[in-house]
């Protein structure tokens, strides 16, 4: 009888092991991707949504957004803080310089030992500061030069109307 109980205990323990580890995973969603044309040191405000099993919003976790350079080294980390909505955390991320960076989110779901790092597509970051509006300025200068040239050409051809001195002369 002891052998049967021992065998039953082993079978139950083996069956229960996958169930014990099944609860420790989460998904991460972002409210936005880094904007195109992102510049170095420009704020990228982002909300991180952490869902257990991809369904249930998780409270009490601490997601961290990490930035890696093209060599894979972590260059900065941004801890997301809880918002008023369960499972949603906010971070303001800044890429430190121009170049290509990868970014990832550590979900912070350490219950059952299931915390994971979720990776995203790399992003190209431009030089800091705004860019000079060369195209609109060039179009405005070209239009002004074209108008000035047309005015000069019109006046040189003698198409200036004769002045009208009275209404009878005009009729």
Are 82 and 117 within one domain?
yes
For residue 10, name the pLDDT band (cuts at 50, 70, 90): very low
What pLDDT is attached to residue 57? 96
**What gap in Å lies between CA 42 and CA 70, rounded to an integer?**
19
Domain membership of residue 13 (yes or no) is: no
For residue 151, name the pLDDT band (cuts at 50, 70, 90): confident
Classify residue 69 as exposed, middle or buried by CB count within 10 Å of its CB (0-12, 13-18, 19+). middle
Are 98 and 56 within one domain?
yes
Domain range enclosing 162 = 134-170
For residue 19, name the pLDDT band (cuts at 50, 70, 90): very low
Are 80 and 161 within one domain?
no
Domain membership of residue 165 (yes or no) is: yes
pTM: 0.63
Are 61 and 92 within one domain?
yes
The total number of structural domains in the chain stands at: 2
Domain membership of residue 7 (yes or no) is: no
- Would the pLDDT of 20 be above 50? no
Are 120 and 70 within one domain?
yes
**What gap in Å lies between CA 49 and CA 58, rounded to an integer?**
8
């Amino acid at each position: 009888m002891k052998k049967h109980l021992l065998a039953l205990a082993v079978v139950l323990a083996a069956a229960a092991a996958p169930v014990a580890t099944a609860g420790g995973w989460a998904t991460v969603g972002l409210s936005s991707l880094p904007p195109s044309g992102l510049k170095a040191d420009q704020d990228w405000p982002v909300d991180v949504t952490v869902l257990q099993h991809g369904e249930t919003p998780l409270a009490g976790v601490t997601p961290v957004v990490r930035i890696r350079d093209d060599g894979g080294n972590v260059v900065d980390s941004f801890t997301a803080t809880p918002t008023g909505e369960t499972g949603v955390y906010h971070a303001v991320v800044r890429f430190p310089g121009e170049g290509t960076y990868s970014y990832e989110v550590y979900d912070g779901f350490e219950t059952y030992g299931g915390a994971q790092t979720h990776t995203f597509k790399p992003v190209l970051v431009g030089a800091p500061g705004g860019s000079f509006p060369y195209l609109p300025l060039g179009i405005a200068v070209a239009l002004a030069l074209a108008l000035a040239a047309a005015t000069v050409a019109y006046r040189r051809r003698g198409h200036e109307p004769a002045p009208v001195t009275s209404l009878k002369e005009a009729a």
